[in-house]
Structure 1
Amino acid sequence: MSHNDTTRPSQTLATPFAESALRTIGLEQAAIAELATRIDAAFEQACQLLMDCSARVVLLGMGKSGHIANKIAATLASTGTPAFFVHPGEASHGDMGMITAKDVVIALSYSGTTSEIITLLPMLKRLGAPLIAMTGVASSTIAQAADVHLNVQVSTEACPLNLAPTSSTTASLVMGDALAIALLEAKGFSAHDFAFSHPGGALGRKLLLKVSDIMHAGKALPMVSQDTRFADALMEMTQKGMGMTAVVNTQGELTGIYTDGDLRRSLDHSNDLRECQISELMTRDPVQAQADMLAAQALQLMEQHKINALIVCDKNHQPVGAINMHDLLNAGVI
């Protein structure tokens, strides 16, 4: 094996930094592994409460737990479960009005004794909103006050002082992800639903954009009849700038396509190209797309058939548009 072989696994560093990193990763992996024993009846009850929620899921947490709660709220919201974060300190000064009786509250506190959350417990009980507690101490005040307690206890923090929330916040985050994905699957949340939550991102463009949104239509659609002379078909291709043209019969139905690739193959044609009709040189029965097809599906068709362009036809097989790889690239689908 040569010294330049990039397939050789990298050597594990033995520096103090690397040793510390590996120890941290190992401790947090162990914390996550412990969660497997906590997927029990309480987890099922929590999922059912969230499934039955007719309003929103409200996440509470202070400090590092607050950051994790905020992230869990974002994950729930983007996967089909409306959720938002409320700062417990602000809730005592007016934001409690954001929580209704139809909501479900998830409170994160590893110790289970966060005073700002404990202050809210009487109001939550009076309101009647179900409470799910995520703590590391089952006997704590918050855990005992909850309708459901999710145990995220860890053996030790990754911090060598066993003080900074590290393993515990990782465990809480993973438990939140477990809830979100369990709900996503139970609700039948689809990739299309996910795209609606992310319309500005690359995934949204891939899953929401339709062929009709990006195709060349009307006068921009390159199209000639079957009896068009080769030279005139080339002129149509040049003027429309798509590197191809649709070929139709007298009824306006698609019968073929002529592309730059066909042009290269035509050079081997035994007859005089100047006298040829495009029907003699075209590729017959080309792959077609529909206007209401997702752009991502059109890309799959191109990749499957190893082609760079598609004619878009209506239900009568008449061309209404055309797209190529450049269109998909410019639209951010690729």
Structure 2
Amino acid sequence: MDVSMTLWVLTIVGLAALIAVDFFIGRKPHEVSIKEAGIWTAVWIALAGLFGLGLFYFGGAQPAGEFFAGFITEKSLSVDNLFVFVLIMSKFAVPAQYQQRVLLFGVLIALVLRAVFIAAGAAIIASFSWVFFIFGAFLIWTAWKLIQEARADHEDEEYEENKLLKAAERRFGVADRYHGTKLWIEENGKRVMTPMLVVMLAIGTTDVLFALDSIPAIFGLTQDPYIVFTANAFALMGLRQLYFLIGGLLKKLVHLSYGLSVILGFIGVKLVLHALHELGVHVPEISIPVSLAVICGVLVITTITSLIASRKQAAAEAAGGGDAYKDSIDA
């Protein structure tokens, strides 16, 4: 897809305007309700849908299909981010009324860092076609790692600050409590960070780790930097509302990691086949419609099986609790 500099500028300005509207509407710190989160989640998904339809109208079925496949993949991978976001919020004891502000700026940091990753990835791919082998192998390895993590017990998992965050805390110091939405305060004559800024940096920089698999994954679906960037942008910008909407459901998505591992492994194989094709080897290539069908199918199946498994577990725990209560009465 041939994208002019004018279109790039208009797209970035348009996304910035949407982010500004989102910020000013929710600028007053408050606890986000399920209704509010649901409305805004629907708005962001609708905007992504309209953007995809615009690509279809002006560019055709190919770029539109690549965008929707990329958006759904990035959206599903971003749900996995939410598990870590919950740990971060718990680690820093973020008051409920400030959580939306933290997520907004954390996601903005993540979006800027991802833009850098995307630019670097596009430049590498344009120069070295063999990098698809590396991306493919990395995704297959990540898929296997996800399965291993899914089988491990993470009940007592806690968030550990990364080295960059620890270095910033040592350099500037951190206040011992929140000061509203302030990011810096004067304390004993020294300018120090507030916990609010630390949490924003934690969410933004932690997302970089997730970008290590999500960026190669979307490059496996499209090599168009414009589509890669916009799919990431729309997936990330609705992440804040999704956090509040499905926060309570996260623990019920017990098979999500298995589904994501299948998707990453599938895209990894797709990348390897594409790399072989680029070298002149006659191998079948997986089309975008097939990719879209596989991604959607895996997500639907894993969501259904997760909810069924969670319901059975809840029923078993309730039955076990009832038996324990009956035994205590009999005793």
Structure number with higher helix proportion? 2
Same fold (TM over 0.5): no
For Structure 1 versus Structure 2, the TM-score category normalised by the shorter chain is: under 0.3
